[in-house]
Amino acid sequence: MKIGLCQFRVELEKEKNLEKAAKLLKTAAEAGAEMAVLPEMFNCPYDQEYFPVYAEEEGGRTTNLLSRIAREEGLWVVGGSIPEREGEKVYNTCFVYDPAGNRVARHRKLHLFDIDLPGKVTIAESATLTAGEECTLFTAGDCRVGVAICYDLRFPEYARILSLQGADLMVVPAAFSNVTGPAHWEILLRTRAVDNQFYTAGVSSAPNPSLSYLAYGHSMLVDPWGEIKGALGEEEGVLVGTVDPARLEQIRSELPLLAHRRTDLYQLSSCGL
């Protein structure tokens, strides 16, 4: 499975963001990617005041665009995330489309990002967003793919559940800040890959100094040995890498972590999977 990580600077205008997303998805397909992933909140500035304003229902302009690009390019599209409106609630939601343009998965961010680092970064997603309630795993060809959105990455229980359910890859649309990103982004992506023996693909928006929230960028693909197979900096662009089943099999057979778990001593809920 060749995967394209699409990183770009989110703008204030939704239309510009959709144009950038469409362009990079097509670029990924032209570069040979079979799947492409967008960043968290790719159609709107990452700021709690904007989420309800930019929110759309499924079947709106953004999801229709993702479905169309997937169909036209014959591409699996992991649509980063957008503010999704359902009734009175707004979710931070990733929609996934198969190469025929069908929606095959929807992941609503499980862990809302409520933090206050004085003088550095303050955000309260729970002020405007509702947390999701379901773990998300789908099959793309021979690859089992789990979905986590940004802050979900910090919770090892969720990643382990995806691993136990057969995930070969965890995609992580994100918008880590320029404070938390340098400290933890790479560490978390590599740790989740090593602990769970799957690939991780972290896809961030690039920093835009004209917005109130500065994203970190540095999208990267990590293999199950913890090796970084490719990474971007703060620039806009597409990184194409490979999820190699032979590499997965080799590492899992040589270091069979999951088989050595002490399930007589500890258990995890399956999260409905």
Q: Annotated catalytic, 23?
A: no
Q: Annotated catalytic, 15?
A: no
Task: Return the percent helix, strand and coil in the chain, to nearest 5.
Answer: 30, 30, 40
Q: How many CA atoms lie within 13 A of 224 on its CB side?
A: 25
Beta bridge partners of 173: 203
Q: How many CA atoms lie within 13 A of 70 on its CB side?
A: 25
State how far the Cα of 33 lies from the Cα of 130, in Å rounded to an integer.
Answer: 33
One-letter amino acid of 153 = L
Q: Annotated catalytic, 89?
A: no
**Among residues 40, 73, 84, 125, which one is catalytic?**
40
Beta bridge partners of 147: 171
**Among residues 34, 109, 125, 135, which one is catalytic?**
109
Catalytic residues: 40, 109, 150
